Amino acid sequence: MKTSKLLGSIGIVTAAALSLVACGNKSNNNSGASDAKKFKEATPTKAVKKGGSLSYAIETDTPFTGIFNNELSTTATDSDVMQFGNESLFDTDDNYKINNKGPATFKLDRKAKTVTIEVKKGVKWSDGKQVNAKDLEYEYEIMANKGTASQRYTGSLQNIVGLKEYHDGKAKTISGIEMPDGENGRKIVIHFKQMKPGMLQSGNGYFLESASPYHYLKDVPFNKLQSSDKIRKNPMFFGPYKLSKIVRGQSTTWVPNKYYWRGTPKLNKITASVVNPNSASQAIKSHKFDIAGVINSQWDQVKGTKNVNFVAKVPLEYSYMGFKVGKWKNGENVENPKAKMNNKSLRQAMAYAMNIDAVAKRYTHGLSFRIPTLIPEQFNNYFDKDVKGYPYNLKKANQLLDKAGYKKKGKWRVQPNGKPLVIHLAAMTGDSTKEPTIQNYIQQWHKIGLNVKLTGGRLIEFNSFYDKVQNDDPSVDVFMGAWSLSSEPSPQDLYSAHAPFNFSRFNTKENTKLLDEIDSEKSFNNSYRVDAFHKWQKYMDDQAYVVPMTNSYSISAVNSKISNFSLKPSDANSVWYKVGFNK
C-alpha cells in the first residue's frame, strides 16, 4: 500500500506516504462514531483574503525526528511537519488515480514497459531553479544508494531496470532511467522489467512521486545526507511554502515560496508546533491552534467547542500486533522456524484473547473500531468481507494453546518442549488511555496462562520503539505498531520477502506466491486481482504473523475563520496553496 507507507502512531497523516505511525486512540458508547459520520471531509468554501498566520498542531508525545526528505524519512510525524512545502509530483482524483493536473505529467506505455514523467515548466524550487530531469533521477539515487541506508529501497522498486545493479555497486548509474533531453531537461523515462496493475494509482511503490534538488544536495556524500543541515535545518521544496525557521524536534515556521508554480499561497506564515496528546483537548478548547487533530478518547471534552468546524474521515491507516519470527539479513527477511513466536496456535490464541471491541468502545466512543483484515474496507472490492479476523474468544484461545502443547505449570503455561515461556511485548507511549489499554491486554493474556511482560517494563517512546522493532532487538517478541498506508492497496512493500518494513520478518513461499499474484500481469484483469487480494487476506488471517487491530476516525478541529481546508484525496496536493482566512 503506497502513497507512501509511514510508521505511525495513528494521527493526522497526509494521504501520500507509507509511514510509521504511533498507535494512538485519537465513554462507554459509540456516540463519537455517529458524530463523525455527520462531518464533511472539508471546511465550507468561502472567499479568502491574502495574509494571516496559521498555527498547526503536531500531536506527539515525542520530538519529531526532522528528516525532511521523502526517501530518508519514514515517520508520519515528519510527513506531517513538512507537508506545507513537500508537494508530490502528481495530483490525483478522489480514488487516488494519478491525473495530469499536478506539477508533473504521467504517461504509461504498457507495451514498451515504460512510464514517462515530465515536470511542467515553471515548477521551481524555493531558490527559483526549475525542477529538472536530474532532480527526478537523483531521488532514485538517494533511495537506492547503499550509503543512505534508505528504508525505501524495496523489492517493488527493484522492478526498475538497473536499479539493483546501482544499489549493489555494480553500476555507477541507473540504466533504466533515461533523460531524453539531458539532465537539464524536464523529462525522464523509466524502464521496467514488468508492468504492474497498480501503476496508474498514486502510491503504487513501483516508481517515486517526489524529487530532490540535485544542484543543492550534490556536494553532500550519500552517507552524510540524513544528518546534513541541508536535510535537517534548511531543506528545499517546490511546494507552496518554504521552511524559514526550525526549533529542532519542536516546531517549524513556513513562509510563502515566491516561485511556487500554482501562484502565491494565501497565508503569510504557518507555524507547526508539537503538543502532547494529553494536552490536545485543552489546546482545542482554548483555540491555541487554528488546526488540530482530535484525540479520539477526548472527543467528549471537545465536541461542544465553539467557533470551530470539525472535518473527519477514516484514513488509510491501521494498528496491528506483529510477532517476531526472524531477522533482516542482507536485504531479505530470514524466518527462524525455531523462534519463540513461530507457532501459529500461540499467535492465534493471543489474538483471540484481546477484547479490542470493548476497549475501543470504552476509550474512544466508537471512534476507533476493530478491523478484520490487513486490507482496509476503503479499498472496496479488494477488502474481503468474509474474513472475520479474531473477535474476542477466551475459550477458543485456551483450546488452541492446549491442543498445541502449551501446558500449564502452576500459573503460567510452558512451551511445548517444557521450557518456561515469557513473552516480551513492545508497545508505544501515547495519550493517557494508552497505559490502561495495554495493561488490559496483558491481563487478558494472563487469563489464558501466558506470561506476557512489557519490554523494559514500560511503554516505549515512539522513536526508541521503532528503533528496537526495525533492528530486531532480541528483547522484543511481540509488538504493537501502526501503518499510515499508501493509496494503492498492494501489500508488497509491507509484507514481502524483501520488504524492510516487514518487521515480523516472516518469509514463506506461499506468501511470496500470493503477493506476486496481486501484482502480476494477470491482475490487469481487475476481477482476477480482487480474487488474488482475497486469497492473500485469508492466508494472512490464518497464519497470524501480523494481526490487524483497529482503525479510527480522524477528526480535525479547524478554526471557523479558515476556508479551503480539506481531507479529500483530490485536494491533498494543493490544499496548502488554497487554505486561507475568510474575507
Q: What is the CA radius of gyration of the chain?
A: 23
Share of the chain above pLDDT 90, in %: 90
- Residue 272 in contact with residue 81, Cβ under 8 Å? yes
Q: Is the dihedral of CA 389, 393, 396, 401 positive or negative?
A: positive
DSSP assignment, residue 436? H
- The predicted structure's pLDDT at residue 365: 84
pLDDT for residue 321 is more than 70? yes
C-alpha cell at 560: 471557523
pLDDT for residue 18 is more than 80? no
Contacts 24+ apart (CB under 8 A), 441-448: 441/353, 441/354, 441/355, 441/359, 444/353, 444/354, 444/355, 444/394, 445/350, 445/353, 447/353, 447/394, 448/349, 448/353, 448/394, 448/397, 448/398, 448/401, 448/413
Burial 538-568 (b: 16+ CB within 10 A, else e): ebbbebbbbbbbbbbbbbbbbbebbbbbbbb
The dihedral region occupied by 472, where left means phi > 0, alpha psi between -120 and 50, and beta the remainder, is left
**Mind listing the pLDDT tens digit for each residue in 97-117?**
999 999 999 999 999 999 999
- The predicted structure's pLDDT at residue 198: 94
Beta strands in 405-535 (DSSP E): 408-409, 412-413, 422-427, 451-454, 478-484
DSSP assignment, residue 42? B
pLDDT for residue 322 is more than 90? yes
Residue corresponding to grid cell 497464519: 543
- The predicted structure's pLDDT at residue 27: 41
- The predicted structure's pLDDT at residue 3: 39
Per the prediction, the chain carries an average pLDDT of 93
Task: Please state the φ and ψ torsions of residue 356, each to the nearest 5 degrees.
Answer: -60, -45
**Mind listing the pLDDT tens digit for each residue in 159-197?**
999 999 999 999 999 999 999 999 999 999 999 999 999
Task: Please state the φ and ψ torsions of residue 55, each to the nearest 5 degrees.
Answer: -110, 135
d(CA 234, CA 229): 6
Residue corresponding to grid cell 494498528: 319
d(CA 18, CA 202): 11
List domains and CATH numbers for the chain. Answer: 89-226 (3.90.76.10), 344-475+489-552 (3.10.105.10)
Task: Please state, in angstroms and as integers, the Cα–Cα distance from residue 336 to each residue in 239, 328, 343, 376, 546, following that order.
Answer: 45, 11, 11, 29, 16
pLDDT for residue 25 is more than 60? no
Confidence of residue 31 (pLDDT cuts 50, 70, 90): low
DSSP assignment, residue 10? S
C-alpha cell at 459: 511503554
Which class for 474: exposed (0-12), middle (13-18), buried (19 or more C-beta within 10 A)? Answer: exposed
- The predicted structure's pLDDT at residue 10: 34
C-alpha cell at 340: 519463540
d(CA 25, CA 317): 12
Contacts 24+ apart (CB under 8 A), 104-112: 108/195, 108/199, 108/200, 110/195, 110/524
Share of the chain above pLDDT 70, in %: 95
**Mind listing the pLDDT tens digit for each residue in 127-143?**
999 999 999 999 999 99
**Mind listing the pLDDT tens digit for each residue in 534-583?**
999 999 999 999 999 999 999 999 999 999 999 999 999 999 999 999 99
Farthest CA pair distance, the chain: 74
Residue corresponding to grid cell 490487469: 524
**Mind listing the pLDDT tens digit for each residue in 222-274?**
999 999 999 999 999 999 999 999 999 999 999 999 999 999 999 999 999 99
- The predicted structure's pLDDT at residue 288: 97
pLDDT for residue 20 is more than 80? no
